[in-house]
Structure 1
Amino acid sequence: MELGSSQMTARQIEKLVERSSELKSELVAFVQGARFARRLDARLDEAADRLGFLDEATAIQTIDHFALQHLLADGSTVVERFVAQRRPPLPEDERAMLLGWRDVVEGVFEVQRLDHGAAILHNLLDDLVYRVHSNMGRRALGKLRNGFFVAARVVPLHPDTDAWLVSGNLTTYPPGDGPELAQVAAQTLAVHPQLLCRNPEMLRRAWEMQAEARADFIELFGTDLLVLEPGQAQDQLREYHRHRQEKALAALNDQAAAQTSIGGPSLDELSSLPEEMLSADSVAVVCDETEGLCYYADFGRLDALFADPSLTRDRTHLAQLREYLNDDSVSPMVIRRLVQRHPENVDAVFRALLRKPAFTWERDGEALLHRRKKRHCEHEPLPSVTPVGDRLAELLRTERRHRR
């Protein structure tokens, strides 16, 4: 899928690029002014601590991120402050252009070609193609060659065009670095699946892959939730992942095969529980329709509590439920699972926990979860399975051959 068609003429786009250069210079000066000095210096110090030094490229990227994406105390961004406070006020058209820059795309791009002062870049992360300009002039893109790779941040040039603009630094890599960069891209996708949201086709594919993985789990175990001792849980996970790998090997050209091998994890790595789970009395292995494969320690104790509300007299059981309810890393899904397993006892358990004799789950349950699990409830769910585009999959296969 390609982004970059435009109803504007080439000359109109050229003028926008020229104007963007002037406005970006003003914005950077605003960012580096006294009012933001302390906060910007803190961001630059953090970047230097991560690397052990602060080079020019990192400083540029840090300033750019601070200008466009860093949230101030009131929830606004620096670029919004600039647009609101700039004197004389900007025309509405230019306000729209600057505010559009908050939509930053960070990616690892492969150069497809140069075309009349723009670079046609394929993003390995979201599998989209961007038509990208530079407000540093055509020479800034002139060093690019077909087949090169670029790590860059790009922003929309203007709401009335699908053209994009380099924002910050461009780091170029020769074609031979593609397999190594592909590994970085795959790891980035695994950590940040929200990057798929820009490409509806990739997002759709991710949900389909997750549904298939869940169907395999249910086919193998007859349920989507297992409650086991940690050692047994790892044995069952090994069986599940072996089944998935065998199925993938039977269809090497299927996307699931490419997904199974991202990063090259071994069967032992796939089957290993997080370290903190190994000392638990029990572990719930859940293959949820929305959240995918996940694990919860000491679920068996809570399951026993909901099965027998008289256990509310045991502080250990209530403390475990309170921890689940207050821990931001615990999804509301797992509490809903307990409710679904023992609907006849849920009111008694929560009345004891909350010391509210009038509490009913039907009336008060979801409001409770929204208060205690606000971060989870405010965001659209994302699939836990991360597909890759054909080009990224090809580069990953090359990288694995190099490792052998």
Structure 2
Amino acid sequence: MAFAQSPRFARRLDARLDEAADRLGFLDEATAVQTIDHFALQHRLADGSTVVERFVEQRRPPLLEDERAMLLGWRDVVEGVFEVRSRDRGAVVLHNLLDDLVYRTYSNMGLSAPAKLREGMFVVARIVPVHPGTGAWLISGNLTAYPRGDGPELAQVAAQTLAVNPQLLLRNPEMLRRAWEMQAEARADFVELFGTDLLVLEPREAQIQLREYYRHRQEKALAELDDEAAARARNGGPSLDELSSLPEELLDTETVAVIYDLDEGICYYANFGDLDALFAEPALARDRIHLAQLREYLNDDSVSPMVIRRLVQRHPENADTVFRALLRKPAFTWERDGEELLRRRKKSHYRHKPLPSVTPVGARLAELLRGERRHSR
């Protein structure tokens, strides 16, 4: 920690602390500790390395191989909302509501820290492996404890965190498998209802169709529940209007593509209709507006390569003509050069494998979301 807070990193660490203070409007001790801990173990410096990696490389005398493995293992941070399962010989057994896994966890503050935790309590914490060769974990940074009565509220936080961070599923292969199955089923329902996985509609019509889709999904789910569970389901979760609502920036566009992709899940793209018309009638490539829209799709990192491929797949005979006009390369052919173009313009999309957009929850998190409490064992 002294190395992370040394003058060589001061400017970058101060910037991270300022960002944290701006988000909250103030900087309390717990936030400062968490920010410094993240900076030391996970923040990427200009050369792509982390502070802990720099420490391991620059340490003199050099660390032993086993010590290097231990410190580098600390990059494997688990952030979670944990329920206390038990205490056992100086360790506290924590069940992470996010990835539905159990972690045997220790504290470097001695036995007093875990001794304050009781079965059924909750903690929000960051943990790291004590050493990659063990199944033991270590509390890293700040730990915030909550009474068992806060479980339902913390469950909402956990569910929201999962929804925006599907990469958390990577720790649990079973949950990841379930997520892919759920996404495939949801897509199959979309295709069954509309006869296709791609709709090009005016924004208001898109919301109407999405509402119909989510109503169909809800009715299907409720039919599989008993009366009591169905009543609870109707009273909880987002409404049909909330589910079918498009992002505000899409409401003023002429057309919206609603795509339920097998890998990327359901997604929305503005002005797709204009680009579809361009590929259907390549003579429109003489129109600067149409080419500018395609150039924006190609250069915008938030636009997936999948969307460009979809345009080509819908009109494969015209792809070469359109891209030759856009790139001013008469010899360009999509079959030979298309994938290289996408990899060059959309590098970030090729760095990681796709993750499902549907996130399942574990049995205990589902119980807490329903407001149920676990009785003491």
Asked if TM exceeds 0.5, the reply is: yes
* Contact 1:262/1:396 (<8 A) preserved: no
Secondary structure (helix, strand or coil) at the match of 2:141 reads coil
Counterpart Cα distance in 2 of 1:331 and 1:202: 25
Deviation of 1:205 after TM superposition, in Å, equals 0.3
Question: How big is each residue's C-alpha offset from its partner over 1:157-212, in whole Å with a ceiling of 9 and x where there is no partner?
Answer: 11211111110111000000000000001111111110001100000000000000
Distance 2:291 2:16 in 1: 42
Within a 5 Å distance, the mapping from 1:46-65 to structure 2 comes to 46-65=19-38
Partner residue in 2 for 1:19: none
Tell me what 1:301 maps to.
274
Say which SS state the counterpart of residue 31 (structure 1) adopts.
coil
1:243-282 matches, within 5 Å, as 243-252=216-225, 264-282=237-255
The whole-number CA distance in structure 2 between the counterparts of 1:33 and 1:47 is 19
Question: Residue type matched to 2:53 in 1?
Answer: E
Q: How does 1:285-364 map to 2 (within 5 A)?
A: 285-364=258-337
The whole-number CA distance in structure 1 between the counterparts of 2:20 and 2:300 is: 29
Residues 148 and 174, structure 1, Cα contact 8 Å, conserved in 2: yes
Given that 1:57 and 1:169 are in contact with CA atoms closer than 8 Å, whether structure 2 keeps it comes out as: yes
TM-score, reference length from structure 2? 0.95
Q: Using the alignment, how far apart are the partners of 1:378 and 1:338 within structure 2?
A: 23
Query: How far apart, CA to CA, are the structure 2 residues paired with 1:182 and 1:324?
Result: 38
Question: What is the DSSP-based 3-state SS (H/G/I as helix, E as strand, rest coil) of the residue aligned with 1:344?
Answer: helix
Mapping for residues 189-204 of structure 1, pairs under 5 Å: 189-204=162-177
1:153 is the counterpart of 2:126: yes
Moved more, 35-44 or 303-312: 35-44
Are 1:140 and 2:113 matched, yes or no? Answer: yes
Does residue 100 of structure 2 align to residue 100 of structure 1? no
1:283 aligned to 2:252? no
Distance 1:226 1:38 in 2: 49
Q: Structure 1 residues 150-159 or 85-94, which shifts more?
A: 85-94
Shift of 1:262: 12
Aligned residue for 2:3, secondary structure, equals helix
Number of the residue aligned with 2:197: 224
| C-alpha deviation, 1:101, in angstroms | 0.1
Q: Whole-Å Cα distance in 2 between the matches of residues 30 and 183 of structure 1?
A: 37
2: CA distance between counterparts of 1:379 and 1:143? 40
Supply the distance in 1 between the matched residues of 2:109 and 2:356 (Cα, whole angstroms).
38
Q: Per the alignment, in what secondary structure is the counterpart of residue 131 of structure 1?
A: strand
**CA spacing shift, 1:261–1:384, aligned 2, 3 Å:** farther
C-alpha distance in 2, partners of 1:261/1:234? 21
Equivalent of residue 114 in structure 1, options 60, 84, 87: 87
Per the alignment, residue 37 of structure 1 pairs with 10
Amino acid at match of 1:223: T
Partner amino acid for 2:63?
A: L
Answer whether contact 1:125 1:185 (CA < 8 A) is retained.
Answer: yes
Cα deviation 1:91-147 (Å, max 9, x = unaligned) = 111111001000000000000000111111000000000000111111111000000
Which residue type is aligned with residue 273 of structure 2? G
Q: Residue 230 of structure 1: CA displacement?
A: 1.2
Residues 1:284 and 1:146: Cα distance change in structure 2 (over 3 Å):
same
Distance 1:339 1:262 in 2: 44
Shift in CA distance, 263/323, structure 1 to aligned 2, threshold 3 Å: farther
Give distance in 2, aligned partners of 1:165 and 1:262.
40
Letter in 1 for 2:54: R
Cα shift readout 1:19-57 (whole Å, capped 9, x = no counterpart): xxxxxxxxx111121211222122222222222222221
Once the two structures are superposed, residues 278-322 of structure 1 have per-residue CA deviations (whole angstroms, 9 ceiling, x without a partner) of: 111111111110111111111111111111111111111111111
CA distance in 1, matches of 2:66, 2:19: 35
Give 1:263 shift: 7.7
Q: In angstroms, what is the RMSD of aligned CA positions?
A: 1.5
Q: TM-score, normalised by structure 1?
A: 0.89
2: CA distance between counterparts of 1:332 and 1:198?
Answer: 27
> What is the percentage of aligned positions where both structures have the same residue?
81
Aligned equivalents of 1:128, 1:201: Cα separation in 2 = 11
1:345-376 deviations in Å (ceiling 9; x for gaps): 10001001111000000000000000111111
Quote the offset at 1:243 in angstroms.
0.2
* Deviation (angstroms), 1:326: 0.8
**Match for 1:248: what amino acid?**
A
**Aligned equivalents of 2:251, 2:32: Cα separation in 1:** 42
Aligned amino acid, residue 145 of structure 1: R
Asked whether the 8 Å contact 1:186–1:263 carries over to 2, the reply is no
The SS at the match of 1:384 is coil
**Distance in 1 separating the partners of 2:25 and 2:78:** 26
Structure 1: tracts of 5 or more residues without a match: 1-27, 400-404
Gaps of 5+ in 2: 373-377
Aligned to 1:182: 155
